């Protein structure tokens, strides 16, 4: 099937696998977005995106305004960091990361002054009068990354028009992870601004066709987005079946268009770019108002949270401040998660700060968390049926456990999206995704070691070649000097002979 820019969605295409976990969205779906008060301290990590960490542009003691640049991006795959509010920089050092490891990362600590005073923002401009490259430049300068959790610098995706023949922009409003409702609320409450941001991104990409996919458990978001898009016939809002992982961009694209992304390829390979509604809103704010990304909407939910909410939170706010605003825990949580329960990351404690890619803070009780004891595989193949990528999770896990990485790779390790569907359906409670993540980490470690070994070998060969060239040059110089000395000696002998001959005459 060929997908044309003018084609309307008349049917959806079925994807393989997937599961139907309880969505648990009623805890926060009807809670309007609130602004979290400015906390007493902000810990702003310099690594909030895929790629190179940002480099500090301020020092301890500096006073900064809201939106002021705190750290510069380093290279193409990177993103700058801006001050979430006005205040004084009280530290440029290390602080525990928003990661399961709890390891410290480079962090700027800001003490707010309570004034929340913005820097002077650039005058508003009509994005549709700008060159597409200028839009991407402004998005990059605003520090915008994929806010669905991927945190890939958005400007890089907006520049894909230079490398691919694009025809469609897909907006991923599936939000298929249980508990999460922040995108739902954004589409309900800011539908006009989200549509504006989507149109700006489509203009930057040079595409006409826009498809917004929203799961059918969000009827109010679907209605709000359809109403906001009424004046734009090139925008389609499509209801999606409630099937996890519908939010995986490759499976979303296949569901909407029937086009399958090549293995280990990009959706851009088939002419489609996927973005998130929250990203579209950030792009709109950056282009229309000149505002960098300094806050985001986060769902705070789970059975252990006394008052689940959707909050707009300044980046760098501690998780504890967020929990306190939700009136704390009613019971001690069994598990604290950043993101959704299927693909989210465990958090070591509530001291860690919120970052650009955090769309949810979940505090789950023992009843909500399955902690059954792992038992031997019964070869039921439930994991095979559930895998949306058509892999063989049981075979992959067995080889990963045995350390046979070559076999795991051949079985499709790098095609695994770590969605957790296989672990969810496993009656033996085998932590399959953990095996795959371990295998990916070990494979990456071996590749780094091999790269280091190859690089060392290359440097040694270069050194040997350089030393050999120096030795050759030295030998040639010595030979030349010998020839010159011999020539001088011969010339002197000839001159002496001539002098003696003249004297005898």
Q: How many CB atoms lie within 10 A of CB 285?
A: 20
Q: How many CA atoms lie within 13 A of 301 on its CB side?
A: 25
Decide: helix, strand or coil at residue 72.
Answer: strand
How far is CA 441 from its chain centroid?
Answer: 17
Q: How many CB atoms lie within 10 A of CB 248?
A: 23
Decide: helix, strand or coil at residue 442.
Answer: helix
Pick from 385, 388, 372: nearest CA to 430: 372
Torsion of CA 406, 408, 410, 414, to 10 degrees: -110
- According to the annotation, is 182 in a ligand binding site? no
Q: How far apart (Å, rounded) are the C-alpha atoms in residues 469 and 466?
A: 5
Q: Are 142 and 271 in contact (CB under 8 A)?
A: no
- According to the annotation, is 358 in a ligand binding site? no
Which 8-state DSSP code applies to residue 388?
T
- According to the annotation, is 383 in a ligand binding site? yes
Pick from 404, 438, 403, 402: nearest CA to 418: 438
- According to the annotation, is 419 in a ligand binding site? yes
Which 8-state DSSP code applies to residue 14?
P
- According to the annotation, is 422 in a ligand binding site? yes
- According to the annotation, is 387 in a ligand binding site? yes
Q: Are 119 and 68 in contact (CB under 8 A)?
A: yes
Phi, psi (degrees; rounded to nearest 5) at 467 = -65, -40
Binding residues: 377, 380, 383, 387, 416, 419, 422, 426
Binding residues for [4Fe-4S] cluster: 377, 380, 383, 387, 416, 419, 422, 426
């Amino acid at each position: 099937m060929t997908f044309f820019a003018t084609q309307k969605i008349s049917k959806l295409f079925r994807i393989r696998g997937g599961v139907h976990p309880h969505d648990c969205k009623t805890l926060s779906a009807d809670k309007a977005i609130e602004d979290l008060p400015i906390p007493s301290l902000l810990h702003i990590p310099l690594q909030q995106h895929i790629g190179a960490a940002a480099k500090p542009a301020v020092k301890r003691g500096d006073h900064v305004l809201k939106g002021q640049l705190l750290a510069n991006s380093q290279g193409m795959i990177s993103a700058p960091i801006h001050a979430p509010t006005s205040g004084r920089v009280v530290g440029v050092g290390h602080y525990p990361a928003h990661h399961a490891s709890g390891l410290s990362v480079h962090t700027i600590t800001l003490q707010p002054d309570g004034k929340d005073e913005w820097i002077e923002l650039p005058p508003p401009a009509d994005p549709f009068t700008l060159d597409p490259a200028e839009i991407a430049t402004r998005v990059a300068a605003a520090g915008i990354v994929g806010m669905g959790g991927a945190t890939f610098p958005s400007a890089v995706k907006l520049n894909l028009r230079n490398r691919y023949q694009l025809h469609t922009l897909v907006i991923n409003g599936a939000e298929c992870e249980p508990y999460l409702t922040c995108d739902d609320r954004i589409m309900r409450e800011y539908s006009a601004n989200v549509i504006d941001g989507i149109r700006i991104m489509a203009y930057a990409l040079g595409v006409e066709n826009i498809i917004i996919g929203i799961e059918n458990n969000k009827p109010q978001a679907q209605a709000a987005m359809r109403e906001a898009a009424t004046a734009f016939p090139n925008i389609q809002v499509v209801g999606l079946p409630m099937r996890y992982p519908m939010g995986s961009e490759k499976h979303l694209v296949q569901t909407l268009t029937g086009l399958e992304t090549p293995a280990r390829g990009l959706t851009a390979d088939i002419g489609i770019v996927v973005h998130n509604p929250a990203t579209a809103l950030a792009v709109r704010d950056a282009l229309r108002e000149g505002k960098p990304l300094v806050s985001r909407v986060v769902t705070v939910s789970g059975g252990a949270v006394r008052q689940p909410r959707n909050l707009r939170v300044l980046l760098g706010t501690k998780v504890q401040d967020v929990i306190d605003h939700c009136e704390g825990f009613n019971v001690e949580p069994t598990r604290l998660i950043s993101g959704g329960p299927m693909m989210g990351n465990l958090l070591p404690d509530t001291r860690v700060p919120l970052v650009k890619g955090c769309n949810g803070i979940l505090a789950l009780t023992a009843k909500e968390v399955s902690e059954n004891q792992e038992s031997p595989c019964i070869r039921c193949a439930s994991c095979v049926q559930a895998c949306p990528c058509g892999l063989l999770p049981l075979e992959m896990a067995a080889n990963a456990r045995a350390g046979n990485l070559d076999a795991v790779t051949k079985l499709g390790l790098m095609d695994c999206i770590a969605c957790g569907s296989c672990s969810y359906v496993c009656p033996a409670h085998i932590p399959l995704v953990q095996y795959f993540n371990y295998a990916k980490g070990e494979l990456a470690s071996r590749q780094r070691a091999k790269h280091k070994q190859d690089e060392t070998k290359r440097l040694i060969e270069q050194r040997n070649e350089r030393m050999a060239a120096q030795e050759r040059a030295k030998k040639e110089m010595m030979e030349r000097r010998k020839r010159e000395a011999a020539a001088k000696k011969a010339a002197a002998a000839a001159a002496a002979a001539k002098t003696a001959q003249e004297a005898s005459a």
